[in-house]
Amino acid sequence: MINRVLWITNILFPEAFAKLRGESELRSSGGWMTSAADALLEYTEGRTQLYIATVFPLVKQLTKICGEKITYYILPLNKDYRSCWKNIEEEIHPDIVHIHGTEFPFGLSYMETCGNEKVVISIQGLISRIEPHYYDGISKKDYIQKITFGDIVRNGFKTPDSDLKKRSESEIKTISTAKHIIGRTLWDRANVWAINPQIKYYFCNETLREEFYDGKWEYNRCKRHTVFLSSMASPIKGLPMFLKALELVAREYPDVVVRIAGNDFTTKDRSIKGLYHYTWYGKFVKGIFKRTGLRERLVFVGNLNAAQMKEEYLQSNVFVCPSSIENSSNSLSEAQILGVPTISSYVGGIPSLVEDSSCGYLYRYDDFEVLAYLICKVFKESQSFDNSRLIDYAQSRHDKQNNAKHLLQIYESVMKSNK
């Protein structure tokens, strides 16, 4: 019987953040991880006590916070993680330790301190495979020519991908140390196997944010010839390649509009904060705008909560995921479960999310001509698009109860392997 589960996460849950700040209201409903925690607690009907440990810079010492259903442990950043893990281990004696993500060294620190026998790790992204694609479509020369004051203040004269290289080394060591791992795509399974062929791999789909389990895209509600993109602030999200496709789309559909989640990272104000956040990449993309005149077609809609993101999906004519690398895109999944026509680059684990053309179109990342053609195809044909199979497909993949049940079965399997 699994009574005590410890999650090690790279985000602080909204409830813990609010209590840490002495606030009575949550600032957000939380992301997919909060939904997954709620689903697990609901499925086990109170039989499981969930503890969540997170490293966060606002605390100076190990801090315990008792939430309504979850107990939180907050570790100070860049301190002695080992002593913190020993204290947590001795206090709760978890049956299972579930580390979410391999991108940061906190989970590795736990295994080095308390062992790996009852540990299972979920793959989120794979930094060691993402890092080689950081400059896809861009040369390092572009970075050198566009480096800004903010880049130097944050990184000195190190290249932007140097931190990824360091985290990649930690990730490879984490996967090599672990005995049990959870993934959800052929891509992550193959890459984990390549690093550690002895590891036990378990498949488990993700649970999405609560808001996306209700609502359905309808052509008559959408804004014609509108493309929606999730945040494009990182080079791996593929905006430069997408803009090449947009030039061709605009030739056929002069009224095309692209709405992008997040703030406009290509502009800066003269404040210290503005200069600090203005990066070489923003300067690089701004140069593309100047050469092509495409800036007037783009609308940066700011940082959005889940409800606002949902509305953007429903109002778009098509959602595009043009990344140079992804494991499985939550944004693509959110669009799919709402029934939005989708197009995505054929990279990483994305093919595991798109069974056939009724579930979305795929194109090779640098074939921007194909992307442009597919966008025009969706504009032309979406009035007759039947999204019923797409919605069923996504709902089955992201079924909260099934995913919680499957996760609990994985925990039980890990426990049995240690007996």
Q: What secondary structure does DSSP assign to 13-70, as a single string?
A: -HHHHHHHHT-SS-S----HHHHHHHHHHHHTTT--EEEEEEE-TT-SS-EEEE-SSE
Residue 109 sits in the same domain as residue 219 = no
What is the Cα–Cα distance from 200 to 183, expressed in whole angstroms? 11
Residue 227 sits in the same domain as residue 141 = no
Residue 240 sits in the same domain as residue 385 = yes
Residue 14 sits in the same domain as residue 154 = yes
CA-based nearest residue to 125, from 411, 348, 360? 348
- Report the number of distinct structural domains present in the chain: 2
Residue 271 sits in the same domain as residue 201 = no
Say which amino acid occupies 30. G
Out of 75-89, 169-183, 184-198, 304-318, least confident range = 75-89
221-277 pLDDT, tens per residue?
Answer: 999 999 999 999 999 999 999 999 999 999 999 999 999 999 999 998 777 777 888
Residue 148 sits in the same domain as residue 281 = no
Residue 403 domain boundaries: 4-207+398-417
Give the mean pLDDT of 75-103: 93
> How far are the Cα atoms of 27, 149, 404 from residue 38, in angstroms, in the given order?
17, 43, 9
Ramachandran class of 7: left when φ > 0, alpha when ψ lies in -120 to 50, beta otherwise = beta
Residue 27 sits in the same domain as residue 165 = yes
Helices (H), 123-256: 127-130, 140-146, 149-155, 162-177, 186-195, 239-252
Quick check: 29 pLDDT over 90? Answer: no
203-215 pLDDT, tens per residue?
Answer: 999 999 999 999 9
Quick check: 2 pLDDT over 80? Answer: no
DSSP state of 96: E
Radius of gyration of the chain, Cα coordinates, nearest whole angstrom: 22
What is the Cα–Cα distance from 252 to 254, expressed in whole angstroms? 6
297-351 pLDDT, tens per residue?
Answer: 999 999 999 999 999 999 999 999 999 999 999 999 999 999 999 999 999 999 9
CATH number at residue 29: 3.40.50.2000
Residue 345 sits in the same domain as residue 300 = yes
68-74 long-range contacts, Cβ below 8 Å, gap at least 24? Answer: 68/15, 69/41, 70/13, 70/15, 70/16, 70/37, 70/41, 72/12, 72/13, 72/15, 72/16, 72/19, 74/12, 74/16, 74/20
Q: Residue 1 in contact with residue 52, Cβ under 8 Å?
A: no
Helices (H), 196-346: 239-252, 272-277, 280-292, 306-315, 330-337
In the sheet that 342-345 helps form, which strands lie side by side, from edge to edge?
298-300, 257-260, 226-229, 318-321, 342-345, 361-363
Residue 121 sits in the same domain as residue 179 = yes
Between 406 and 273, residue with greater pLDDT: 406
Residue 391 sits in the same domain as residue 343 = yes
Tally of CB atoms within 10 A around 100: 21
Percent of the chain scoring above 70 in pLDDT: 98
Longest dimension (CA), the chain: 66
The predicted structure's pLDDT at residue 360: 95
Residue 362 sits in the same domain as residue 225 = yes
User: 334 is written with which tokens?
Assistant: 């959110």
Q: Taken in order 37, 38, 40, 45, is the CA torsion positive or negative? A: positive
With residues binned 3-state (H G I as helix, E B as strand, rest as coil), the percentages for the chain, rounded to 5, are 50, 15, 35
Residue 325 sits in the same domain as residue 348 = yes
Provide the CA 302 distance to its chain's centre, in angstroms: 18
Q: Taken in order 407, 411, 414, 419, is the CA torsion positive or negative? A: negative
User: 264 is written with which tokens?
Assistant: 């406009």
Give the mean pLDDT of 402-412: 96
